[in-house]
Structure 1
Amino acid sequence: MTVCPVCNGFRDVYLMCTDCGEPMLESGRIMDFYDGYSPYMEIDLMKMEDGYHDTNSGHKCPHLYHCPSCLHDEIILIKE
């Protein structure tokens, strides 16, 4: 069993916005934004439905990063 170090608070990932160069904020797993029930669904089941390659078999967790300055959003795959 693998776990995401960002989801579990083992590690922080800091990114700079590719558009404006300001620091981006980690906003959580992208699957949590699908609908009102998705944060409560089984993580491995949601990975089969997320539409990203390598999230289930490649042990990667897609996270949403948001830039508060220019409002740019980016999905980053975090290695589990």
Structure 2
Amino acid sequence: MNVCPLCNGLRRVTVYCSSCRQPMEDQGKVTDYFDDYSPYMDADMMKQFDGYARTYTNHECVHLFYCPRCQAEEVRFIQE
């Protein structure tokens, strides 16, 4: 089983906003926002419904990043 280094606190990543070039904040997995129970579901199972065709086969965790300065949001694929 692969693990996401961001979800498990093994690594930190600095992502800069493509609009204002300020550091963005990691808001966690995109699938955690699907419904109230999504954060408690199996991560590999949720990859089948995340809207990205290859996240399961490529062992990627899709994270949402938010810019507090300009309120922009960006999705990044984190290699597990």
TM-score clears 0.5: yes
- Structural mapping, 1:3-22, within 5 Å: 3-22=3-22
Give the total of aligned pairs.
80
Supply the distance in 1 between the matched residues of 2:26 and 2:60 (Cα, whole angstroms): 16
Q: Give 1:53 deviation, angstroms.
A: 2.4
CA RMSD of aligned residues (A): 0.6
Other-structure match for 1:36: 36
Other-structure match for 1:70: 70
Shift >4 Å, 4+ stretches: none
Which digits, 9 at most, give the CA deviation of each residue in 1:19-74, with x for residues without a partner?
A: 01111000000000111110011111100011112210100000000000000000
Other-structure match for 1:48: 48
Supply the distance in 1 between the matched residues of 2:74 and 2:59 (Cα, whole angstroms): 19
Supply the distance in 2 between the matched residues of 1:59 and 1:7 (Cα, whole angstroms): 13
Stretches of structure 2 that go unaligned for 5 or more consecutive residues are none
Residue identity (%) = 47
Aligned amino acid, residue 62 of structure 1:
V
